[in-house]
Amino acid sequence: MNILETHNLSFSYPGGEGREPVPVLKNIDLAVEEGSFVAVLGHNGCGKSTLAKLFNGILKPTGGTVTALGMDTADENNLLDIRKNVGMVFQNPDNQLIATVVEEDVAFALENLSVPHDEMERRVTEALEIVDMLPFRKHAPHRLSGGQKQRVAVAGILAMKPKCIILDEPTAMLDPKGRREVMRTIRRLNREEGVTVLLITHYMDEAVQADRILVMNEGKILLDGTPREVFANVGLLQSVALDVPQSADLMFALRQYDIKVPISILDDMECTQVLIDLLEGKFGDYSDRKFDA
Amino acid sequence: MIKDITLGQYFPGASPIHKLDPRTKVLLTILYIVSLFVIRGGWGYFVSAAMMFVIIALSRIPFGVVLRGIKPILFVLLFTATFNLIYGTGTPIFEDVSWLGWLTWNGLRNAVFMAVRIILLVIGTSFMTYTTSPIMLTGAMESLLAPLKWVKVPVHELSMMMTIALRFIPTLVDETDKIISAQKARGADFETGNIFRRAKALVPILIPLIISAFRRAEELADAMECRCYHGGNDRTRYKVFHFAARDALAALVMTGQLALIIFLNVVT
Ligand SMILES: Nc1ncnc2c1ncn2[C@@H]1O[C@H](COP(=O)(O)OP(=O)(O)OP(=O)(O)O)[C@@H](O)[C@H]1O
Ligand SMILES: [Mg+2]
């Protein structure tokens, strides 16, 4: 089943006085399977955040339709149901925590959904447990580290028990430790809790962990496939100013010399194995070739 | 350094006074203020002051802190006392010293009582903020003012605004610190020059701060909508206040005090 769908979706922000609206998204057809882990890549300003905000009705399409769990986001009556099921985490953890105590912040959505008090208590504990923040439930958010704040933000969404969670560059403001913590939480959500994850990111090492990668460019979907399929297009990716994982880059470079290594290698162990095989001559004998640049 | 400013002067603690339901504290503070205005004689003031001493002792807030709270009103205090003294009527204190004829027993009495009343008033009200965190006070206010919703007072919205303000003050203070450092690194000078020069030097701090506050507000609004915020109707509350036995006891003591004061008014 598709949890998120767009049909011929277009979007433009209203232009200022006298200026034309700028089209940001152009005729996007997209479907996200329930339970999948999708990463969205694209350079700055290509419309990733805009797409994310369209999925739970923060923005309304200016053309085409967006449906979440089969409900049209353009219909105001659906909004609460959609937002309950399609949670969203933003980049800056400071600007999405509302209360002055961690547990109260996690309960915020539940208060809005009129959840009875006893159940609230249970769901807050559960959500904080999933993100490993239970010991901090009485703390003040502004005293937590960036990674901890971001995990509290995730817990605040999880408390709603959403079917899908959209994360817009959740690790962009974090240090490597915070990034690892948050990524571990995201993976666990997807694998163990069965939550559909849509992760917008600039980090390739995060994107390769997904089942599927969407590459956006100029408001359109440029590439769509498994990490292997997507990162095989090293040339195309580099042409839209995107990095590729180092191992994919190396394989790409080797292929420039007609060395027939597998097309897309993503993790480092695999890459090492290919290099060993290469040196042992498994891909043919290159000893007589000249490797000049 | 700016980070050191304390907010609303709350002194965290676990004393019996701290543990009282914030609603109790608000209501009993009002009751205490009322009792101060009911008092007519010296014994009444004695009872009220004794009550305050007991509360201070129970709260374990250092006496020095409480005294410091009076400092800002010292001027008002002297002013009122002086006027009461000058405009007193009745028998002069020094009947044979003619130039001290304006100094009457009655005036002295009024001056002292008025001073004590103001001091107790200030200590009494500040004690509520000393022992209750701002966020608890906000919650108490929302709960106590809830009936006003019937006359269309946006009680929930006001308390939400307070909560968000309290949540963001530390964040914005942090940010101000950063902007000041950044401007200093660019050679900005906030310490020298006359008042106008210094006021002007604040502009490069305020403008980035305001712009960033607006950006934050926009993001926060999105985040709140994402979490199904749709106003105060039919919201449930995570933090619910419970009246406990100690609240009943506190109410009893405070009402007892008022009764005693009224009694003293009648018998003397
Ligand atoms: N509120 C807005 N009003 C007008 N234009 C906007 C608004 N928000 C974004 N834009 C424009 O829409 C385009 C897409 O923005 P969007 O934030 O979706 O990009 P993004 O892919 O998320 O970029 P980034 O990687 O920097 O987060 C940009 O050109 C941006 O300038
Ligand atoms: Mg973005």
Those residues with Cβ within 8 angstroms of residue A215's Cβ, 6 or more apart along the chain or in another chain: A40, A41, A42, A221, A222, A223, A224, A230, A237, A240, A242
What pLDDT, on the 0 to 100 scale, is given for residue B1? Answer: 40
CA distance A87 to chain B (A): 6
Q: Are the C-beta atoms of residues B26 and B33 closer than 8 Å to each other? A: no
Place of tokens 């605004």: B161
Residue minimizing CA distance to atom 22 of ligand 1: A49
Sign of CA dihedral A71, A74, A75, A79: positive
Interface test with A, best of B169, B214, B227 (most A CBs within 10 A): B227
Q: What confidence tens digit (pLDDT) does each residue in B114-125 have?
A: 999 999 998 998
Instruction: Confirm or reject CATH 3.30.360.10 for domain A2-239, answering yes or no.
Output: no
Average pLDDT of B56-62?
Answer: 91
pLDDT surpassing 90 at residue A90: yes
CB-nearest to A88 from B135, B216, B226 is B226
Collect all residues of chain A within an 8 Å Cβ-Cβ radius of residue B229. 108, 112
How high does pLDDT run on average in chain A?
89
Which is the closest atom of ligand 1 to the Cα of A46? 21
What is the Cα–Cα distance from A169 to A49, expressed in whole angstroms?
Answer: 9
pLDDT in tens, A196-225: 999 999 998 899 899 999 999 999 999 999
Mean pLDDT of B205-229: 93
Distances (CA, A) of B71 to B52, B64, B85, B122, B218: 18, 11, 21, 10, 41
DSSP strand pairing (A164-168 vs A86-89): parallel
Query: Residue written as tokens 């902007």?
Result: B179
Residue B94 has a CB neighbour count (10 Å cut-off) of: 10
Number of structural domains (chain B) is 1
Nearest CA to ligand 1 atom 30: A45
How far is the C-alpha of A194 from the C-alpha of A191, rounded, in Å? 6
Q: Which class for A36: exposed (0-12), middle (13-18), buried (19 or more C-beta within 10 A)? A: middle
Residue A262 has what pLDDT? 75
pLDDT in tens, B166-201: 888 888 988 999 999 998 888 877 777 788 888 888
Q: Is the pLDDT assigned to residue A274 strictly greater than 90?
A: no
Lowest mean pLDDT of A276-285, B3-12, B156-165, name the range. Answer: B3-12
Band the pLDDT of B7: cuts 50, 70, 90: very low
Which residues 30-89 of B have a C-beta within 8 angstroms of A?
Answer: none
Q: How far off is chain B from A162, nearest CA to CA, in Å?
A: 11
Counting ligand 1 atoms within 8 A of each CB, the residue from A11, A28, A43, A49 with the most, and so the one to mutate, is: A49
Q: What percent of chain A is predicted at pLDDT more than 90? A: 63
Sheet holding A212-217, edge to edge: A86-89, A164-168, A196-200, A37-41, A212-217, A220-225
pLDDT at residue A265 is higher than 80? no
Q: Of B135, B220, B238, which is closest to A107 when you measure between CB atoms?
A: B238
pLDDT of residue B120: 93
* Residue A290: band (very low, low, confident or very high) from pLDDT cuts 50, 70, 90: very low
Looking at the complex, does the CB of residue B240 fall below 8 Å from at least one CB of chain A? yes
Of A87, A101, A103, which has the smallest distance from its Cβ to B226's Cβ?
A: A87
Test B236 with A109 for CB contact under 8 angstroms. no
User: Closest-CA residue in chain B for A57?
Assistant: B226
B211 contact A CB<8A: no
pLDDT at position B6: 42
Residue pointed to by tokens 């890459």: A271
Confidence of residue A285 (pLDDT cuts 50, 70, 90): low
**pLDDT single digits (tens) A40-68:** 999 999 999 999 999 999 999 999 999 99
Quick check: B227 and A114 CB within 8 A?
A: no
Contact A97/B at CB under 8 A: yes
Q: Using an 8 Å Cβ cutoff, are B196 and A63 in contact? A: no
| Residue that is written with structure tokens 């506050």 in the block | B213
Q: What residue in A sits closest to B166 (Cα-Cα)? A: A100
Q: Which residue in B25, B23, B9, B27 sits closest to B58, CA to CA? A: B25
Confidence check: pLDDT of A283 > 70: no
CA angle A19/B221/A110 to nearest 5° reads 145
Mean pLDDT for B23-34 is: 94
**Is residue B178 less than 8 Å (CB to CB) from chain A?**
no
Closest ligand 1 atom to Cα of A43: 25
Q: How confident is the model at residue B227 (pLDDT cuts 50, 70, 90)?
A: very high
- Count of C-beta atoms within a 10 Å radius of residue B160: 19
Residue B24 has pLDDT above 60, yes or no: yes
Q: In the predicted model, is pLDDT for residue B236 greater than 70?
A: yes
**Token pair 């994310």 in the structure block, residue:** A52
Q: How confident is the model at residue A4 (pLDDT cuts 50, 70, 90)?
A: very high
Give dist(CA A71, CA A264) in Å, integer.
Answer: 38
pLDDT at residue number A160 = 94
Residue type, A89: V
Residue A291 pLDDT grade (very low, low, confident, very high; cuts 50, 70, 90): very low
Instruction: Please report the DSSP string for A186-226 in residue order.
Output: HHHHHHHS--EEEEE-S-HHHHTTSSEEEEEETTEEEEEE-
Residues 6+ apart with CB under 8 A from B224: A98, A108
DSSP code string of B43-110: HHHHHHHHHHHHHHHHHT--HHHHHHTTGGGHHHHHHHHHHHHHT--SSBSSTT-GGGTT-BHHHHHH
Cα separation, B88 vs B110, in Å, equals 8
The pocket around ligand 1, CB under 6 angstroms, is made up of A 13, 24, 42, 44-50
Q: HSE, CB side, 13 Å, CA atoms: give it for residue B34.
A: 12
Residues with Cβ within 8 Å of residue A76, at least 6 apart in sequence: none
Of A98, A110, A111, the CB nearest to B167: A98
Closest ligand relative to A216 C-alpha: 1
Phi, psi angles (nearest 5°) of residue A59: -115, 150
| pLDDT value of position B37 | 92
What is the token pair recorded at B79? 């002013």
Set of chain B residues whose Cβ sits within 8 Å of the Cβ of A117? 236-238, 240
DSSP-derived 3-state class of residue B235? coil
Q: Does B228 touch chain A (CB under 8 A)?
A: yes
In sequence order, the β-bridge partners of residue A2 are A33
Q: A162-204: per-residue pLDDT in tens?
A: 999 999 999 998 888 889 989 999 999 999 999 999 999 999 8
Amino acid found at B5 = I
User: Would you call A77 an interface residue with chain B, using a CB distance cutoff of 8 Å?
Assistant: no
* Amino acid (one-letter) located at A204: M
Q: Domain residues for B125? A: 2-267
Residue A93 carries which DSSP code?
A: G
| A81 vs B contacts (CB less than 8 Å) | none
Q: Which residue has the higher pLDDT, A231 or B54?
A: B54
